[in-house]
Amino acid sequence: MKKFRLEICADSFESAKAAWEGGADRIELCQNLIIGGTTPSPYLFRQIRSRNPIRIHVLIRPRFGDFLYSEEEIRVMEAEIKMYREMGAEGVVFGALTPEGRLDKVQLSRLIKAAGGMSVTLHRAFDMCRDPREGLQDAIDLEFHRILTSGQKNSALEGWKVLRGLREESKGKIRIMAGAGISPENIPWLCQKTGITEYHMSGKKIVESGMKYRKEGVSMGLPSFSEYQLFRTDKNQVEKAAACLRNLEED
């Protein structure tokens, strides 16, 4: 059984294809990665699954913004989890917080129940909780399989001390997966400093739009982003990261 795992966050068929061709172990499938990711279309899931058997964990996030969800939003998330379970997803990824910044154990218990045995990952809502040690214990009590975290910093490189502490305190009861700012160049350093064996990255590159005519002065979304630049996973980055983890496995 492999010790090291590489997860690629993908929000398009093209990015998912780069992930499996590059040697990733699994995909975290989402849409709208540019705003942190939201729940993907089931048709995108089917398109990817029909082409490759790579393990897919689906992000369940109904909207951009905080992780304080209404009852109606939780109902939507429950329904989406059940849908993806029936469609054959291997796992789901979600999180929810209370107004006071703690894991919302009541809502999260409902979502885990809806998963019905699928792998469940607590996403970076964890990085927004008030106390990482308390959050770790709550995640263990809830029986999450893993936590995706940057160590409560903007990047895993900045949060390496917290990451190391989480891995040590978890005592193997839950997997800690490092995410945010992960690259083939820094994985060996992070592994040495933290002992973490699972890594999450997008490996994104900017692809210029094929549009020749470009309407000036009109924005379809956030004005800080151009409609004529697309973010796609770079197969070369995935290959490098996968090779890096193979080397660590052999060592």
* Tokens found for residue 12: 């398009």
- The pTM assigned to this predicted structure is 0.94
Rounded percentage of the chain residues whose pLDDT exceeds 90: 88
β partners of residue 147: 122, 176
What integer pLDDT is reported at residue 219 of this predicted model?
A: 77
pLDDT of residue 217: 79
Tell me how far apart the alpha carbons of residues 201 and 8 are, in angstroms, rounded to a whole number. Answer: 5
Rg (CA), the chain: 18
Nearest to 33 by CA among 232, 242, 243, 236: 232
Q: Which of 13, 47, 15 is nearest to 232 (CA)?
A: 15
Distance CA 70, CA 64 (A): 14
Q: Is 217 exposed, middle or buried (0-12, 13-18, 19+ CB in 10 A)?
A: exposed
Alpha helices in the chain (DSSP H): 13-22, 42-49, 71-87, 105-115, 132-142, 160-170, 187-194, 235-250
Per residue in 70-127, pLDDT tens? Answer: 999 999 999 999 999 999 999 999 999 999 999 999 999 999 999 999 999 999 999 9
What single-letter DSSP state applies at residue 31? B
For the segment 42-67, the average pLDDT, to the nearest whole number, is 97
Q: What is the pLDDT of residue 229?
A: 80
Q: What mean pLDDT value characterizes the chain?
A: 95
Contact status, residue 176 vs residue 146, Cβ threshold 8 Å? yes
Higher pLDDT, 155 or 208: 155
Is the confidence at residue 225, as pLDDT, over 90?
no
Q: Residues 31-58: what's their mean pLDDT? A: 96
Contact 245, 25 (CB under 8 A): no
Q: Are the beta carbons of 150 and 173 closer than 8 angstroms?
A: no
Element (H, E) at 174: none
pLDDT digits (tens, 9 = 90+) for 168-224: 999 999 999 999 999 999 999 999 999 999 999 999 998 888 889 988 877 777 777
Homologous superfamily, domain 5-250:
Copper homeostasis (CutC) domain (3.20.20.380)
